[in-house]
Structures are given as structure tokens and as C-alpha cells.
Amino acid sequence: MAVLVLVFVLVFVIIRSTITALRPGLRSIPGPFIARFSCLYRPWKIAKGNAPDFYLALHEQYGPIVRTGPNTVDISDPKAIPILYGISSKFLKSPFYDIFNPSYEDEKMPNMFSVRDPAQHQALRRPVAQKFSMSSIKSFEPLTDECTSIFLAAMAELEGQAVDLGVWLQWYAFDVIGAITFQRRFGFMEDRTDKWGMIRAMEKGLVYAGIVGQIPALHSWLLGNRWVARIMAAQSFFEVADPLRSIVRFTQQCIDEYDRQPEEHRGRPDFLAWLRESDGKGNRGDSTAISLRAVIYFLAKNKSVYDKLQKEIDEADRAGNLSEYITYTECLELPYLQVVIKEAMRCHPGVLFPLERVVPDGGVTLCGARFEAGTIVGINPAVMHHDKTIFGDDAAAFRPERWTESDDEKIKLMDRHLMTFGQGSRTCIGKNLSIMEMGKLIPQIIRRFEIEWASDQPQWCVETFWFAKQHGLICRLRLRER
């Protein structure tokens, strides 16, 4: 009897897999054979941490449209961007994003990034959108400058030593977030350590989300299940990533401290004060750090670009156009700096997974193929940013001059296809904050220090589990005479 049951189950699985593999609209899509039958193909490949190379290789082999799972298709056709991500797009985020809904006291906490319903997204975004405008973000510059002062002092103290700048830039980015949100830094740079293991926990959490998110249904049986989560939190054999616990604890401390202040002393230039006073409802630290690392890395590895940027900054400094702490307005008057930052983020955007969307009712035709409602489709920024028809035959190279030597139409074309901060209505709300931080800190470092590559390895190492996090940005900084 047991044998008959086993045979029956096996036959059922084979039939179901075959039906899935031969689904209308998908059976003609090229891709790895195993991907047609099994949803395990993507997590198996992505678990290596090299998602960008994986997707680039797939498109190199199979063309602009590749089947990467029984119900999943990856697209590299530029014409699909406005269809999938445009302001009026009906394509909603896929269940992959549900993994990023953290739980606190057994309650799910949807956020602007993870929420899939457009109405809910607008409800979350509307109260805070104005505060994330560039005009509002610029009011936080003094708080940013305090963090810059600490960073520069530490680099001067470590002058001549091989320093892991990747770690320091992440500490800097997180402390800026703390300063502008609570007017209180987390203290990463001052203590020179990963406070509460927060960064390590976030890295582990992203590994889990990146892999399990390829089969979102698994999440409800794993850490998405409150009983499993409780058991895992209670046991001491395995470390379970829980960055939310430290963040919530720190946030609650700041809220309690703010609420204890007399009302006449509550006028502060930070997000917490604004949110409390406006009854608004409310992490860009990791992705900003990734972008800062990218700029420093490409400068350290491209001497001619470094020298050209340094010359621009020095000339502006001698002309008296730069303050002691460079302002965002001043950095906009450094045109080569702006294209260096843009090119670094093109070559290494923070997110290098496909931005998955679900085909809406009625289906859609993409790349000449017809997809039924419910099919998951997406574009990977790494693949789009390497498109030679958009960015030129040297699309894989870091070359800021592509933004200065091209005509206006070409520049507009390239700008339209940048996916550094996402696209359309789901563009990252923290975009302006990241841009301001980079525009202020990078020239500040270049003006004060000489930077050279100091690693035994010829290049950095990148691990991608949603965020494309770099390791091994080992540099040596030397003070310059001004």
C-alpha cells in the first residue's frame, strides 16, 4: 500500500510540474530547463550571492526574456520599464516583498517599501512625502555635518593605516540616519563598533529574505510564522537575525525622551519632532552606504577620474566657493562630481535583484510574448544598466564622461533607464537623502585626503541578497596640505 501511495504522489507531482511547465504564454519562453519545472532553481543559484552575474549570464545566453521559474520571467527589454513601473502601471509588487514586512509583538508592520496595495502605499507615503523633498532634506544639513566631522577626525587619526572604508562608510550612513531622525546618533563611529549587532543582524536578515523570497510561500512556515519565530528567538543554539528589535528599542527610547521634554523645548530639526508634532505616521542606511562605497571604490581604481575630480574640487576651494563643510547647494556647482556619483550608482546600484511585479487581470504582451494574469515578471537593474543600446558599447565600464560627452537626447535616454532608486510611484522615498549625503561627503573626503587602494586583493568582493553589499574596500588615506 505504501508503495502505491508513493507512486501516486510521484505521478501527481510529475503531472502537475508538466502542466506548469507547459503553461500557455510561458512554454515558448527560453530559459534553463529545470526552471520550467521547479521553483528551487532560483534560490539554488541566488544562494551563492552572485545574483547580478547570474542574471547577466542568463540574458547573454537566452536573450531579452528568460524564464527563471515555473511562473517567473526576467526581462531586459528597455521598452518594458514604463509598462511595469510607470506611474499609472497596474502591475503590483509580487509576494517577494511580503518577506520584508517585519513583525513586532505578533503584529505585521507593513512599510512603504514592502506594502503591495497601491492605496495602502499612498496612505503610508502621503503624510511624510513633503518631509522627504529636497528642500526639506536640506534643512538637515547641520546634523549631517556633525557626522561628517566625526568621520573626518577618525580618518585623520587613522592616517596612513589600511582602513576598511566600507565599514566606516556604513557606520557614517547609519549615524546620519539616527541624527536626522532622532537628533541622536546611533554611535557607530564614536564607539567604532556595530552597536547591538544591528548591522550584522540586518545582513543575516537580508540573506534569509533574499533566498526565501524566491519561494514566498515558505516564509509563512518559517520566520513568518509567529510560533516558529518565538521558538527560534527562545533557543540559544542558533543566532536568529532580528535587527528590528534593536531599532525598535532605540526608537522607543528616543520617543520617550522626546515626550518627557517640556513642550516649549520640543522645537527640533529632526524627523521625530516633525512626526510627533504633525501626528504623522512613520532605512536608508544600508543602501546609502553601498552607494558611498561604490563612489570611493571606482575613484580609487580609476586614477584619471580621481585626479580630474580632485582638480575640480581644488579649483572650487581656491576660488572660495566651498564652505568648511560643503553644502548641498555648493556640490551642485561641481559638475564632474555629479556625473561621477551618477556613473558609480549606474555601475553599482544598491539593489541587484529583479524588481518583481505581477501581471494584472487581462494579461499583457511583453517582448512579443503573451502573459496571463498572475505571472511574475521583473527587470534587474544590473542587467538594464549594462544595456549597450542605452549606455554604449562600454556599458560595463565605469566612465563618467559618457554623461558629459553625449548629446542631450542620449543623456535623456540614459536617465530614463536608470533604475538606481527604482522607478515610477515606487521610487525610493529616501532618494534625496542619499543624494545629499553623497554630494556633501565625497568632495569633503577628496579635498582633505589622498586615497589609495591598500588591499592585497585587486578588487572588492560583492555579495548580493537584495542589496549588493561590498566587502574589502581597504584604502589608505593621507592628509593633504591645503
Known binding residues are 428
DSSP SS3 for 140: helix
E-only strand ranges, 165-226: none
Q: How many residues can be counted in the chain?
A: 482
Classified as helix, coil or strand, 384 is helix
> CB neighbours of 344 closer than 8 A, spacing ≥ 6?
291, 294, 295, 297, 298, 398
Identify the H or E element spanning 465. strand 461-465
Q: Find out whether 369 and 79 touch, Cβ atoms under 8 Å.
A: no
Query: DSSP character for 481?
Result: P
Q: Are strands 376-379 and 449-453 parallel, antiparallel or unpaired?
A: unpaired
335 by Cβ neighbours in 10 Å (0-12 / 13-18 / 19+) ranks as: exposed
477 DSSP β-pair partners: 451
Q: Around Cβ 395, how many Cβ atoms within 10 Å?
A: 18
CA–CA distance from 114 to each of 29, 72, 98, 329 (Å)? Answer: 29, 19, 6, 33
The C-alpha cell 543582524 sits at 201
Binding-site residue positions for heme: 428
